[in-house]
Amino acid sequence: MFDLTTIAEFSRTNCVNVCTFLVPATLLTTLLTMILTLKRRPKHQVWQTAGIAVILAFIMVIHVYTWFIIGVVMLPTYILLSLAVTCLVANLGAVLFRTLAPTNNLTLGQDACRDAS
């Protein structure tokens, strides 16, 4: 049977290792989602990177909640929770922007200078 207590205990026991992986992975995948969105890459690429980033951020939220369950309320838990929520919102915003923004009206960088002349 699926035992959440064992998973929560594993998460708390290996907290440094979990956070050492999750924090950079979440930040890098969120950054990649934003870069792909700004470069107007195909929607499926943005969705893939955003999906991976959301999964990692959700795992980080669950990891923080395992600490809240046992009563550990400290500054690092709030920092990690804020980071995860910020990444979730940024990825949702990137997906919405890429989905709803017109593809031919917004240009970035050199294209804007070329179109002006």
Q: 6 or 114: which carries more pLDDT confidence?
A: 6
76-100 burial, b for 16+ CB within 10 Å, e for fewer? ebeebbebbeebbebbeebbeebee
Q: What is the pLDDT of residues 50-105, one digit of tens each?
A: 999 999 999 999 999 999 998 888 999 999 999 999 999 999 999 999 888 766 55
pLDDT at 110 over 70: no
Q: What is the pLDDT of residues 16-55, one digit of tens each?
A: 999 999 999 999 999 999 999 999 899 999 999 999 999 9
Q: Which residues contact 94 (CB under 8 A, 6 or more apart)?
A: 33, 34, 36, 37, 46, 50
From 20, 114, 113, 110, select the one nearest 63 (Cα to Cα): 20
Query: What is the spatial distance between Cα 41 and Cα 44, in angstroms, rounded to a whole number?
Result: 8
From 50, 59, 65, select the one nearest 18 (Cα to Cα): 59
Are residues 15 and 66 in contact, defined by beta-carbon separation less than 8 angstroms? no
Q: What is the pTM of this model?
A: 0.81
The pLDDT-based confidence of 109 (bands split at 50, 70, 90) is low
From 36, 25, 38, select the one nearest 87 (Cα to Cα): 25
At 110, list the tokens: 């050199």
Q: Supply the range of the domain harboring residue 70.
A: 4-116
Are residues 38 and 14 in contact, defined by beta-carbon separation less than 8 angstroms? no
* Number of domains the chain is built from: 1
